[in-house]
Amino acid sequence: MFKFLKEKLGKALSKFKKEVEEDAEIVEATKEETPKASETYRNQEISEGLETRDVSRKVSKTQVSKKKAEEKKIEKKEEVEKKEKKIEEKDVEKEKTFPEKAPITAPSAEEKKGFFAHLFKKKEEIKEEPVEEKVNEDKKIKTEKVPVAAPSAGKEDVEEKKGFFKKLGETFTTVHISDEKFNSIFWDLEVVLMENNVAVEVIEKIKEDMRKELTSDKVKRGKVEDIIQNTLKHSVQELFEMEKIDLVKKIKSKKPYVICFIGVNGSGKTTTMAKLAHLLMKNKFSVVFAAADTFRAAAIQQLEEHAKKLGVKVIKHDYGSDPAAVAFDAIQHAKAKDIDVVLIDTAGRLHANQNLMNELKKLIKVNKPDMKIFVGESITGNDCVEQAKTYNEEVGIDAIILAKADVDEKGGAAISVSYVTGKPILYLGTGQTYDDLKAFEPEVVVQGLGLE
């Protein structure tokens, strides 16, 4: 089982992995990360610009105050010189007017100038000191404030820079493919799945799972193969995520426990029913057959042959009798004889044959079986899936048995039927003997496809 599909799937996966790696585009950053990174640097540049502007403003204010002080100093010097000049002119006039007082020598212009200059110099120094201190303080602010502000703001910036560069580094080790490119690459794999009778619903699920992994998130280079392998394995496992049925436990809960077998012509219902009877008898359950396939005379004879080999009682009516009546009599016999299980064989009918489907609905309505098992022929692939889907819609099925699974090299039905119907697969028919009924395990599919 799955031999052909395993080979084809392996080749398709190898090609798919190769094309994903070759056609993957390096992206500078994801859609979510790029705006954040650019915004971080823009905010950083703005904050740095504001700090620089504040410092430059402070420096310019200091320079203006210094310039004003120098201008005031020059003005005061000019005023002193004017005063000294006026004093000198007055002294000259006094000497001319009162020559007798000439011996009293007045200080020279240079001395006066030096004296007043010295006097005003002190005043100017007193007034200039705050300016110099202010300048020094401004310089101090300039030299101290920038380093002090940097660590607090810089800590966040450093973290943002680290985050950005880390993300930037990831772009050189990650790949990203567009939806359009993914669809193009997946096409070959999709064809292989369709060729091997995998249902469209299952293909779509596998496709969407892979699309999500390969296009929505960044994928590390060199990890593409692992991601594809793990995604496919996970998708296949999810196909069988429904409540399992412990048939033996259910049979113990009610007596008699009635099971009805339904399916199309030639699907292997009668043989499968005989195999299940053998399995139940090995578990110490007593069984009775109901030959409710009255549509074919040969069907009653076939069931009688299995009953003789197994030592099971058969409840039958004549050819053309009402199937619902046959099933009813078998259930009454089981109640009277304290038999554990009633197995009802029904006529094989195409799901499109409305008259026969109505007859089956009547049988189920009258006898209310505890479990309705659909028996499908595994090698029919998508047809088996569609049949199970229609039977489930018409009469409702509870579980599935796939016959002839041993000769099914594609395995599309086993992969698909449970997911499409939402019902569990109980057993796989794997041969011609009564013991060839194997309990189904999802891991069988995973291993068969080489995904373990």
Pairing status of strand 399-403 against strand 371-377? parallel
Identity at 45, one-letter amino acid code:
E
Q: Find all residues with CB under 8 Å of 63, minimum gap 6, and list them.
A: none
State whether residue 111 is helix, strand or coil: helix
Residues 414, 425: contact at Cβ < 8 Å? yes
Cβ–Cβ contacts within 10 Å for residue 107, how many? 13
Token pair, residue 33, equals 């990360």
* Alpha carbons within 13 A on the beta-carbon side of 322: 10
- Note the pTM of the prediction, 2 decimals: 0.64
Return the sign of the alpha-carbon dihedral for residues 241, 243, 249, 255.
negative
Q: What angle do CA 190, 194, 199 make, to 5 degrees?
A: 105
Structure token pair of residue 132: 């110099």
Q: What distance in Å separates the CA atoms of residue 431 and residue 117, rounded to the nearest whole number?
A: 126
Would you state the structure tokens that stand for residue 166, as one six-digit string? 């880390």
For domain 3-26+175-238, the question of CATH label 1.20.120 is answered with: yes
pLDDT of residue 12: 67
Local confidence pLDDT in tens for the 452 residues of the chain: 555 566 666 676 677 666 666 655 544 344 444 444 444 445 554 455 545 455 445 444 555 566 666 766 677 777 767 766 666 666 555 555 544 444 445 445 444 444 434 444 444 444 444 444 444 554 444 444 444 444 444 544 544 444 444 443 444 455 667 778 788 878 888 888 888 888 999 999 998 988 888 776 666 666 777 788 888 888 888 999 888 899 999 999 999 999 999 998 888 899 999 999 999 999 999 999 999 998 887 889 999 999 999 999 999 998 889 999 999 999 999 999 999 999 999 988 775 677 778 889 999 999 999 999 999 998 888 889 999 999 999 899 999 999 988 888 778 888 899 999 999 999 999 888 999 999 998 888 888 777 76
- The dihedral formed by the CA atoms of 300, 302, 303 and 304, expressed in degrees to the nearest 10: 90
In the chain, the N- to C-terminal Cα span, in Å, equals 16
- Residue 410's pLDDT is 78
Confidence at residue 274, expressed as pLDDT on a 0 to 100 scale:
96
Provide the angle, in degrees to the nearest 10, between the axes of the packed helices 412-421 and 382-394: 20
pLDDT at 35: 47
State the burial class of residue 116 (Cβ atoms within 10 Å of its Cβ: 0-12, 13-18, 19+).
Answer: middle
HSE-CB for 247 with a 13 A CA cutoff: 23
Q: What is the dihedral of CA 318, 322, 324, 328, to 10 degrees?
A: -40
Measured between alpha carbons, how far is residue 307 from residues 44, 106, 284, 299, 315 in Å? 87, 156, 17, 12, 10
Residue whose entry in the numeric block shows the structure tokens 């006039």:
93
- HSE value, Cβ hemisphere, 13 Å, CA-based, for 33: 17
Residue with tokens 């028996």: 375
256 upstream amide cis, omega within 30 of 0? yes
Number of other residues whose CB lies within 10 A of the CB of residue 415: 27
Fold annotation for 247-448: Rossmann fold (3.40.50)
Residue 413 is classified by DSSP as H
